[in-house]
Amino acid sequence: MAKVKTDRREFVKYSTLGVLGAVMAGGVIASPYLNAEETRLRPPGSLGEKEFLGLCIKCGQCLQVCPFHSIELADFGKGHGVGTPYIDATKRACWACNAVPCVLACPTGALDHDCEKAEDIRMGIAVLEFPDTCIAMTNTPIPKGFSTKMHKFTDNVNNVTQVELDLVEKLDTFEGKQCTLCADMCPIPNPLSAIAMVPDKSGGKRPEIYDGCIGCGACEEVCPTQIPSIVVKTRVTYEEQYGKDKQS
């Protein structure tokens, strides 16, 4: 099985080189957006913004294979990079599929094929941006109907998948409990390497972020506060946000 997967990835890598050659020959690499700055979340494996914009041919392959409908294509109202894929974690985060199919589907390498599993993803870093609104700090139970937004999202997709249905079903089990949603819904294989609830001097608990965080935004999507208390800072590393020794 592992051999098949490796062969498939090798095939895609070499196909990628072919497509890349065609792209360069066609001059597409001279994108008018090369100097643009971007603060939106790009899909897993995304190269640096300039390289990404130079290589992405806006084919939409990544979003077609995403079983969570996480990826959107930027329209004219979203500024530069029209037609390029991005993720709005307040609507639907990346849920960190193990085999990262969006990367595998990318024909140009704009999403780097060295990103082979969930732990390889590095989209940004989670930050408890608004601690004062985090309901875990005040031991406030998760309000009824907090998952309405996620249910509506799932109801409105055309080809809803089983993993999306499982997701909303799991979310509903948290209603009325003390909030640990960001930590408990963290989708990576070892969530404790990314986030844990720790006692806070306020008497409640707060999420603490560790260097295993991949910046998928799932915590931001599920946070039940009106404006998510926890957010992902795009393309920021753990070290940049927290420093080498700090653990919160």
Contact footprint for ligand SF4 (CB under 6 A): 43-44, 66, 68, 70-71, 94-97, 100-102, 126, 128, 134-136, 179, 181-182, 186, 188, 194-195, 207, 209, 213-219, 223-225, 229-230, 232
Report the candidate in 169, 184, 182, 185 with the shortest Cα–Cα distance to residue 223: 182
Least spacing, CB of residue 80 vs ligand SF4, in Å: 21
Burial class (CB in 10 A: 0-12, 13-18, 19+), 47: middle
The smaller minimum CB distance to ligand SF4, of residues 23 and 94, is found at 94
Least spacing, CB of residue 74 vs ligand SF4, in Å: 15
The smaller minimum CB distance to ligand SF4, of residues 150 and 195, is found at 195
**Which residues, other chains included, contact 238 with Cβ-Cβ below 8 Å and sequence gap of 6+?**
125, 209, 210, 211, 213
Least spacing, CB of residue 20 vs ligand SF4, in Å: 21
The smaller minimum CB distance to ligand SF4, of residues 28 and 241, is found at 241
The smaller minimum CB distance to ligand SF4, of residues 29 and 133, is found at 133
Tokens representing 143 are: 């309000």
Q: Residue 207: which H helix or E strand, with range?
A: strand 205-209
Least spacing, CB of residue 242 vs ligand SF4, in Å: 12
C-alpha to C-alpha distance for 74 and 159, rounded to whole angstroms: 21
Least spacing, CB of residue 216 vs ligand SF4, in Å: 4
The smaller minimum CB distance to ligand SF4, of residues 57 and 186, is found at 186
Quickly tell me which residue has 């084919």 as its tokens: 59
C-alpha to C-alpha distance for 128 and 48, rounded to whole angstroms: 25
Give the bridge partners for 46, in sequence order.
111
Least spacing, CB of residue 223 vs ligand SF4, in Å: 3
Backbone angles phi, psi at 227, to 5 degrees: -105, 125
Least spacing, CB of residue 217 vs ligand SF4, in Å: 6
Distances (CA, A) of 206 to 37, 130, 190, 203: 32, 11, 19, 10
The smaller minimum CB distance to ligand SF4, of residues 36 and 65, is found at 65
The smaller minimum CB distance to ligand SF4, of residues 55 and 94, is found at 94
Number of H helices, E strands in the chain: 9, 6
